[in-house]
Structure 1
Amino acid sequence: MKPTLVIAGLPVRISHDLQTLLEQAISSVLEDFPDEISDGTTPAALTLNYRDPGYSATTGGYHPVEIRLECRDDGWHLRYVTDFAYVGQGWSTELAKELDFDFSMSEYTHSLVGEMSLAEVNEWFDVWQQSFCCYAQMDVFTLTVTPD
């Protein structure tokens, strides 16, 4: 059975491309690891980590992205999307959250502007998901899925 990504009630529009990408990831995990997801008595959860193996502070590349999905009775819910980037210079360079859309807490931040208004969330999320889906279609990411 095809998993259902529940997008009703989110403050952003989820594109067909992103919905398809996430549902494919869920389907793949359910097929490959059916016993690790849930026994049906507790909600299942998946953390999807998309990484460009060549991304570094010195050479750049495609930002790492982490997406959290939780399964409830009516389907899979998007809990958060976090886009990471290197910040700092030299020995103090570190990977930090650049964009964070926490739908479970209704908190949305950008490293340069701080908390975002709902209008800003829609704009930033739309730009982010267009870019992310394009990069995913270019096959630049390695996907690691962690079932919880």
Structure 2
Amino acid sequence: MRIHYDGLALPVSTKLVHQLQNLLNQNQIKSESVTLNFRDPTYSAKRGGFHPVEIRLEQHDNMWHFCYITDFAYIGSGPYAELTKELDFDFQSGVFQNLFGVFPIEQATDMYQIWEGNFLYYYLELEAFTVSISE
């Protein structure tokens, strides 16, 4: 089954789609929705590291569709640090959210391209993430 990415409000790359498609095929997903979690096992508020990322896909008309891509980060310091959404690209609602507010998703094009390039580098080149998939 393919992932739909043509005509989205943000320029999701073929490279990202192929990586996600490979993960779906390797895990033989049977449900109509899936959440992919990319985690740096050493990431913490104290030591930093690579931000956790969550990608949600749902099936419609024999095709996977992006629901959202969320990048999390610790906000605050010391014992008060909380894991919070830092960047949220919500394809279903058509909004982009960051620490400064909520905006139409189309305003996040430049931010998304930078984020995606970094994410793919961390995932493919640095092998920074462990991946878990929940259906």
Question: TM-score category by the smaller chain?
Answer: over 0.9
Is 1:14 the equivalent of 2:12? yes
TM-score (norm 2): 0.93
| Structure richer in strand, relative to its length | 2
Please, what TM-score do these two structures have when normalized by structure 1? 0.85
Identity %: 38
**Alpha-carbon shift at residue 116 of structure 1 (Å):** 2.9
Deviation at 1:107, TM superposition (A): 1.6
C-alpha displacement at 1:8, in angstroms?
2.4
Whether the 8 Å CA contact 2:38–2:129 is kept in 1: the answer is: yes
Tell me by how many angstroms 1:56 deviates: 0.6
Q: Helix, strand or coil for the counterpart of 2:123?
A: helix
Q: Paired residue for 1:83, among 44, 64, 71?
A: 71
Does structure 2 conserve the Cα–Cα contact (< 8 Å) formed by 1:63 and 1:84?
yes
Write out aligned runs for 1:1-148 (5 A).
3-30=1-28, 37-38=30-31, 44-111=32-99, 113-137=100-124, 138-147=126-135
Amino acid at match of 2:117: Q
Q: Is the 8 A contact 2:10 2:106 kept in 1?
A: no
Runs of 4+ aligned structure 1 residues displaced above 6 Å come to: none
CA distance in 1, matches of 2:120, 2:51: 13
Q: CA RMSD in A?
A: 1.3
Write the deviation string for residues 42-82 of structure 1: whole angstroms up to 9, x where unpaired: xx000000000000111110000000001111411011000
SS at match of 2:21: helix
Aligned length: 134
1:71-109 per-residue CA deviation (whole Å, 9 max, x = no partner) reads: 111411011000000001122111000000111111211
Alpha-carbon contact 2:90-2:105 (below 8 Å) kept: no
Structure 1 residue 119 displacement after superposition:
4.8
Alpha-carbon shift at residue 17 of structure 1 (Å): 1.5
**Which amino acid is the alignment partner of residue 69 of structure 2?**
V
Higher radius of gyration, 1 or 2: 1
Contact in 1 for aligned 2:9/2:106 (Cα 8 Å): no
